[in-house]
Structure 1
Amino acid sequence: MHPSVPADRTSRSSSPKLEADTDNAGSIDTVLANNEKIMVDETNDGDDDASKMKEAVPCKNTPDHGDDFKEERYAWLIVIGAFFVQVTSFGVVTSWGVMQDYFHEHRLGLPPPSETTFQMENEQLLNLSFVGTIALICTNICGPLAQILTSIWGHRMVLIIGTFCVTIGLICAGFATEIWHLYLTQGIVFGLGACLNYCTIMGVAPLWFNKRRGLALGVVTSGSGIGGLIIPFIMTSINESPSLGPEWTYRILGFICLALDLVAVVFVRPRVPTPRQRKKLGDIIKLNVLKDMNFLLFLIGSSTALMGYFLPYFFLPAYATSIGLSPKQGGALVAVSSAMNFLGRILAGICADRIGKLNTNILFTTASGLSTFLIWTFAKTYGVLMAYSAVFGLFCGSYFALLSPITAQILGNEKFPTGLSVMLLSNVVSVFGPNIASAIQNAVNTEPFLTYKLFAGAAFLVGAFILTVLKIKLDRNILAKV
């Protein structure tokens, strides 16, 4: 839905002609602050917090600082490039459960079976889960670095560096013989490259749209779902090939990521190029946004829910094999969940434009928690697990689709870049969810994987409750579009 514009602000200069060269492209912060005025949908006029959210002051002396520009066809090429980046970043990360199950079954880092205890196997599973965790940490914590590099070299050069790191990290992971080798390669090197690519495209893509921004971001973020759909089948097929194995799984995957990320390198560029202006860390990370209680509630609620997000993706394959299913069936569960994630993120974008961004996020987060509690907890057959994968996948990805628009809605244009950086940094806490659940599972005497199920469901529902508190604080009308 196109936000309303006051009559005294309807007169604006037209957008400048798009330039193919990105040498003069500035940092993500500069583009966001100087070229877009993000305004929120209608909220309760009588509520003070909602009234504050409506205020957005346009920057002067810029070529185009409004939302009333005409959307160009080229914008959808930006979406394609950004979509492929999502495939090669979060699509690969969410598929880690397939490789984790393979390495667990083939006893990577364990002594011979005669010398292995049950406790040692649990510790190995915990250690393997840190590979995905480290990759997620690097993907989120290196956001400020991506913005600083963008302010120095421009978007295209940062995308080239990120593509190089993603490719090299995966190829080198194919030579791993110990778990800590995977920490360095798929964890740090790949995670750094994924972050550079992800932060760059998410700082550019939203600014090409106004009326269809929610839909565009839904399509972009659905790339991780498509990646999670296709990549597990690639991994499983190559892993089980007698002539190939996991070494070639990583090498082939590395070259696939190279080809896809090069599309982003070619097409992704800012809508309105601005002069480069080197940024310092203090210019990007301004923790004063945490004084905004609405933003703080959104951060806490989102981080809490996100702690449960990766648990099914990391542990569903291992749970499937533990109840007698094949590795292919375990990989299919992740693939189906990712396919539904693809559809769910687009659906979240569409619903956000119709019923409100925060409302959509609350509904989807609640559904994710309920499906985990009511389906996965009692799933003992392939059919029930497949049903859970489909339902969970459809609803669990709303946070990623709506992170940018909700942050902009709460903070406004001026503080949006800082707020987005703080949100990405807060995700570092959330990615420890699988490790916390693993530690609890090892410490208690209960049925295998029960802790993972309960932890994931509780995280989503507690997060949804906090987001509901935020909604009521913004507008006491329960049916209001927020």
Structure 2
Amino acid sequence: MTRINGHTDANSHNDPGAAPEIVSESNDIDLVEGRQHFIKPPTKTYQAMLLLAGSMMIFHVIGINQVFGIFQEFYTSSRSNIKDAQGQDALVSLVGSIGAGLTWSGSIFMNPLIARIDNIKLVTFSGAFIMSLGLILASFVTRIWHLYLTQALLYGLGSSMYYFPLMTLAPIYFDRHRGFAMGTILAGSGVGGLVMALVLQFLLDHYGIQWALRILGVWNLAVAVPVSMVIRHRVGYGLGLQSQRASQNRARTMVNNALLRKGTFWYQSIGAFLQAAGNVVPLYYMSSYTVSVLALSDSKGSLFVSINSGVNSLSRIAMGLLADYIGRQNTLIGGAMLSAVSVFALWYNAPQARFIAFVVMYGVYAGGYNALLPTTITEIYGVENYASVNGVMYFIRGLGSMFGAPIAGLILGSHSRSPILSNNGDSTSTVGLGPIKRRYNDVVIFDGMLLLAAAVCVGYVRWLDARDKGSWRWKA
């Protein structure tokens, strides 16, 4: 017999595709339309292989997404191999935005596909191959529109196909330790961003952009071979063509009409869009701010991106623990609000010391929203609606991530990436940086307003949820 536990571990849902916690009273019995089906429990060896495969996959997918700002800084600089990309922040950031946006937006298409396809290994490897192909082909491009076809469309479609099968199927193999298992897998996201930033900058400095892309592509494909061989449907759990529960799983990927009439769903959707749009702006412009305004080296910019990713990963764990004490919705609102405050207070017109504080504090506060959104979906809409609402929310977040960075690039406009020298040759002087700093300050205001509006939306969802349930609880 299977029961569903309303308590969901925050650390098991840092990213799309994770499922609410389902606790089996028996490891080998499942109820399907009133009949008992005996299910062979997975071996500990297979579970360990699944954890390793998930961590390796997410290391690449999330890691490469998080460090696109380093690519952007290179493509828009005078060192760029793509001449029509130099100084074009809006156009170049759209490349990364499409790639990352398709990764998440693919959830709305991948969840039904996973329920229909038995050969999930082929889907996973095909996704990794397309993702790697996008990176490798990007190494040969000479025009910016070539990047849209390769490092945006091919990469984004492939990464979504690579990501969701494992993240959707892995939870059902851990009946009693699902929170620990998914937390272990998702830990690869922060490590990926931290390591990828340093590796990418090293490759750029020593081998150039072409070989950096080729090495990343081949590395990703080599890792994907063992990863795709591990993942498979768990027989009897309703994922696959032969299962009698496949139609039920397909139905759960659609949001029902009752939810579409609720204000909580619409304001949560608006908040998800705005937060995703605002969340990517610091990641994409952290490196360029370091070079253009602070007049520091590219390697320092990469180091800041790496630090931010590492802090963000630790914050997800800490925010999850805090949420158990003060409530998940409360922690979500607090993280969203404080991330907006950190942008306004620490990034606006920031000198080096304050910018470093921003890199750290933004990593702390932004991690809370990413970790807790899926768990609040379970609390607000019920575990039976988790799959459908979670899929739609991450589709919307994918759209939002395509919006924020390109608009910020339009605000920033074209500008020199070279340190501006004063009359005495001091490269750290701020002489002549006034116009550039003002443009970045405008970007900061735009980003802060997006994050603040997102915080207001999730706060209003908290109020609407309490009203709909007929009671107010301080811990929610």
**Preserved contact between residue 100 and residue 314 of structure 1 (Cα < 8 Å):** yes
Match of 2:211 among 248, 252, 256: 248
**Taking structure 2 as the reference length, what is the TM-score of the superposition?**
0.78
Measured after TM superposition, the shift of residue 356 of structure 1 is 2.9
Deviation at 1:109, TM superposition (A): 4.0
Aligned partner of 1:114 in structure 2 is none
Q: Deviations over 1:64-87 (max 9, x none)?
A: 99xxx9997855543433232222
Alpha-carbon distance, 1:328 to partner: 0.5
Please, which of 137, 161, 174 is the counterpart of residue 139 of structure 2? 174
SS in 2 for 1:176: coil
1:338 counterpart = 2:284 = no
Is 1:380 aligned with 2:343?
no
Q: CA deviation at 1:259?
A: 3.6
Given the alignment, which residue of 186, 194, 197 partners 1:221? Answer: 186
d(CA) in 1 for partners of 2:147, 2:36: 46
Summarize the alignment of residues 256-335 of structure 1 with structure 2, pairs less than 5 Å apart: 256-270=219-233, 273-274=237-238, 276-277=240-241, 284-286=253-255, 288=257, 289-323=259-293, 324-335=295-306
SS in structure 2 at match of 1:298: helix
Deviations 1:187-240 (A, max 9, x none): 111111211122223322344456765555444334222111111111111111
1:133 aligns with 2:91: no
Match runs of 1:96-175 below 5 Å:
96-105=68-77, 106-110=79-83, 122=87, 124-150=88-114, 151-175=116-140
- Alignment check: 8 A CA contact 1:441 1:449 kept: yes
> Post-superposition shift, 1:478?
7.3
In 1, Cα distance between equivalents of 2:75 and 2:24: 58
- The residue identity in structure 2 corresponding to 1:374 is A
What SS does structure 1 have at the residue aligned with 2:439?
A: coil
1:233 alignment partner in structure 2:
198
CA displacement at 1:100 relative to structure 2: 0.8
* Corresponding residue for residue 466 of structure 2: 475
CA distance in structure 1 between the partners assigned to 2:65 and 2:407 by the alignment: 18
Question: Which secondary structure does the structure 1 equivalent of 2:147 belong to?
Answer: helix
Contact 1:302 1:399 in 2 (8 A): no
Tell me what 2:151 maps to.
186
Alpha-carbon spacing, 1:79–1:397, altered in 2? closer, same or farther (3 Å): farther
Aligned partners of 2:63 and 2:33: how far apart in 1?
Answer: 36
> Which whole-Å deviations, capped at 9, do the CAs of 1:319-367 have from their partners, x for residues lacking one?
1111211100111111110111111122233334444322222222222
Distance 1:192 1:264, change over 3 A: same
Name the CA shift for 1:70/1:245 in 2 (closer, same or farther; >3 Å): closer
Q: Which moved more, 1:210-219 or 1:395-404?
A: 210-219
The amino acid of 2:121's aligned partner reads R
- Secondary structure, aligned partner of 1:245: helix
Aligned residue identity for 2:194: L
3-state SS of paired residue (1:204): helix
What is the rounded CA distance, in whole Å, between the counterparts of 2:372 and 2:187 in structure 1? 12
Distance 1:368 1:221, change over 3 A: farther
Give the alignment's Cα RMSD to 1 decimal.
Answer: 3.4
Q: State whether residues 101 and 400 of structure 2, in contact with CA within 8 Å, keep that contact through their aligned partners in structure 1.
A: no
Match of 1:393 among 359, 363, 377: 363
Matches within 5 A, 1:8-87: 14-16=26-28, 60-61=34-35, 63=37, 75=47, 77-87=49-59
2:82–2:141 Cα contact (<8 Å) kept: no
Does structure 1 conserve the Cα–Cα contact (< 8 Å) formed by 2:349 and 2:441? no
Q: Secondary structure at the match of 1:153?
A: coil
User: Which amino acid letter does the alignment assign opposite residue 312 of structure 2?
Assistant: N
Correspondence for 1:447 among 438, 450, 454: 438
Instruction: Give the deviation of 1:422 after TM superposition.
Output: 1.1
TM-score normalised by L of structure 1: 0.77
SS at match of 2:348: helix
SS at match of 1:15: coil
Q: State how far apart, in whole Å, the 2-side matches of 1:441 and 1:259 are.
A: 38
Match of 1:357 among 303, 306, 328: 328
SS of residue matched to 1:274: coil
Contact 2:76/2:89 (CA < 8 Å) preserved in 1? yes
Structure 2 contact 291–301 (Cα < 8 Å) conserved: yes
Q: Does 1:93 align with 2:57?
A: no
Do 1:162 and 1:192's aligned partners in 2 also have CA atoms closer than 8 Å? yes
1:374 positional shift: 0.9
User: Compared with structure 1, are the counterparts of its residues 211 and 363 closer, same or farther at alpha carbon in structure 2 (3 Å cutoff)?
Assistant: farther
Question: What is the distance in 2 between the residues matched to 1:434 and 1:62?
Answer: 51
1:366 to 307, 319, 337: 337
Q: Secondary structure at the match of 1:347?
A: helix
Give the whole-Å Cα distance in 2 for the aligned partners of 1:158 and 1:480. 45
Per the alignment, do residues 202 and 291 of structure 1 end up closer, same or farther by CA in structure 2, a change over 3 Å counting?
farther
Q: 1:82·1:202 contact (CA, 8 Å) conserved in 2?
A: yes
1-structure distance, mates of 2:301, 2:119: 42
My pick for the range that moved more, 468-477 or 433-442, is 468-477
One-letter amino acid of the structure 1 residue matched with residue 106 of structure 2: C
Return the offset for 1:375. Answer: 0.8
Does structure 1 conserve the Cα–Cα contact (< 8 Å) formed by 2:304 and 2:359? yes
Separation in 1, partners of 2:120, 2:324: 29
- Report deviation, 1:121: 5.5
Correspondence for 1:460: 451
CA distance in 2, matches of 1:291, 1:282: 18
Task: State the one-letter code of the partner of 1:182.
Answer: L
Q: Structure 1, residues 407-448: CA drift from partner, whole Å, max 9, x if none?
A: 233222332222122112212331111112222344999812
Q: Following TM superposition, by how much is the alpha carbon of 1:13 offset from its aligned partner in structure 2, in angstroms?
A: 6.4
Between 256-265 and 224-233, the greater mean CA deviation after superposition: 256-265
Q: Which of 364, 372, 389 pairs up with 1:419?
A: 389
- Work out whether residues 155 and 200 of structure 1, in 8 Å CA contact, stay in contact via their aligned partners in 2: yes
> What's 2:432 paired with?
none
Indicate how the Cα distance of structure 1 residues 71 and 405 shifts in structure 2: closer, same or farther if over 3 A, else same. farther
- Give the % identical residues: 26
Structure 2 stretches of 5 or more lacking a match? 8-22, 415-434
Give the conservation status (yes or no) of the 8 Å contact 2:333–2:455: yes
Q: Give the Cα separation in 1 of the matches to 2:83 and 2:461.
A: 47
1:156 maps to amino acid: K
Residues 281-334 of structure 1 show CA distances to partners (whole Å, capped at 9, x for unaligned) of 887444633223323232222222221111111111111111211100111111
* Cα 1:442–1:251 shift into 2, 3 Å: closer
